[in-house]
Amino acid sequence: MQASFSHSFLSKIFLLLILSCFVATIEASKKQVSAMYVFGDSTVDPGNNNFIDSAFRSNFPPYGRDFVNQVPTGRFTNGKLGTDFIASYLGLKDLLPPYLDPNLSDKEIVTGVSFASAGSGFDPLTPTLGNVISIPKQLEHFKEYKKRLEGMLGERKTEHHMNSAFFFISAGTNDYVINYFSVPIRRNYTPLTYGQFLLQHVKDFIQNLWKEGARKIALVGLPPMGCLPIVITLNSHNVIFERGCVDKYSAVARHYNMMLQHELFLMQLNFSNVPLGAKISYIDIYEPLNNMIQSHENFGFDEVDHGCCGSGYIETTFMCNGFSFVCSDPSKFVFWDSIHPTEKAYFRLFMVARPNIDALINA
C-alpha cells in the first residue's frame, strides 16, 4: 500500500513538472513576440479616428463606460477590444494605443500600435464614404512608424524586430454593410465577384506587409453579418417583433470566409513568393459569434438582437451618445451598439482565437 501511494505521489509530481515545463515554454514563446501591429476597421481601432476629420468616432460617452476610469478612448465598445486582450496575453502591454496619438512616447510605440480606422475596408471606395483612413494609407503610416523605429534601434535591429512581431488584420464588414449592400454602383458585382475583388486587395496588402518584414500575420474573417442588429433592423418588416438573423447576408459572409481561407492557403503554398519564415493564420469569428447568438444562455448573454446603447437597433457612432439610454448590464448583451460587440463578447472571441495565435507565434 505504501509503494502504491509513493508511485501515485511521484506520478502526480511528474505530471506537475511536465505541466510547468509546458507553461514555461508557452510563456517563453510569448516573450519572443517583439510587438503587435494592427490594421483594419472599427473592430480594432482604439482611437485613430479621434485625430482625423471624420464622423466615424466614439470618443464620447457612453462609449468607454466600462473602460479604465470610464474614459471614452475612441474604441467602439464599452471597454476593451479583442486586440487589447491579445496584446496583454502576449505580454506586450495592457492596451494597444492608436498610432496617431501625438502623445505616444518612443518607449510606448516600440511594443506596438494600431493603425486601424473605424469605417475602413479593403475596397478603396469604402473609406471614402466616411472620410476615414484607407488600408493603403494605414500601410503608409506603418512605413512612417518603421522609419521612426529605425532611428531608435537601427536598421538591423528593426528588421529583427519586424520579423518577430505579430501582425493582426480585421476588416471587410464595412465593405459589405456600408458599401456593397448600400451603394448602387457596387451592384455591378455579384457577391462572388465582389468577394474576389476584395480578396485581391487582401493579397496585395499581405504581400506589402511581407516586403516590410512581417512574418507572422493573423487575418480575421467576416462575422455573421445577418445577425448584426443594424442589418436585422434594415431588413425586417417589424423591427421590434421580427428580429431573427437575416441568413442571406450571413451566407455572403460564409462564402467569403471560405474563399479567404482558400486564398490564404494558396498564398502560403506558393513557396516562391513567400518570405522565409512567413506564416499566415485565419482567425474565425463567424462561428464563435454565431454560437454566442444562437446559444446565448450558455455564455451568460440575455440580449442578442439589439445593442446596449439606445434602442440598440440603429445606434452607432454619433447616434450612440451621452443622451442615449444605456442598459444597466452590458455583460448581458452580445452587442454594445447596433454593430459592435461588448467587451465581454470581444473577450470570448479572443479566448476562442487564442490557440490559433499560439500556433502562429510558435510556428
Strand 279-283 with 112-114, pairing: unpaired
Question: Is 337 considered catalytic here?
Answer: yes
Q: From CA 113, how far away is CA 265, in angstroms rounded?
A: 27
| Half-sphere exposure at residue 15, Cβ-oriented, CA atoms within 13 angstroms | 6
Contact between 332 and 78 under an 8 Å Cβ cutoff? The reply is no
Residue 285 C-alpha cell reads as 469569428
Task: Round to whole Å and give the CA distance between 13 and 11.
Answer: 5
Cell of 31: 516573450
Taking the C-alpha atoms of residue 344 and residue 39, their distance in angstroms, rounded to an integer, is 22
CA dihedral 326→332→333→334, nearest 10 degrees, is 150
| Cβ–Cβ under 8 Å, residues 228 and 234 | no
Burial class of 63 by CB neighbour count within 10 A (0 to 12, 13 to 18, 19+): buried
Report CA-CA distances (Å) from 235 to 158, 229, 244, 337.
Answer: 49, 10, 10, 17
161, 201, 306, 340: which one is catalytic? 340
- What SS3 state is found at 357? helix
Q: Residue 42 catalytic?
A: yes
CA terminus-to-terminus distance, the chain: 46
Specify the DSSP class assigned to residue 262.
H
Q: Where are the beta strands (DSSP E) in the chain?
A: 36-40, 112-114, 166-170, 216-220, 279-283
* 340 belongs to the catalytic site: yes
What distance in Å separates the CA atoms of residue 92 and residue 332, rounded to the nearest whole number?
30
Of 34, 42, 114, 117, the active-site residue reads 42
Please state, in angstroms and rounded to a whole number, the distance separating the CA atoms of residues 324 and 315: 9
Active site residues: 42, 337, 340
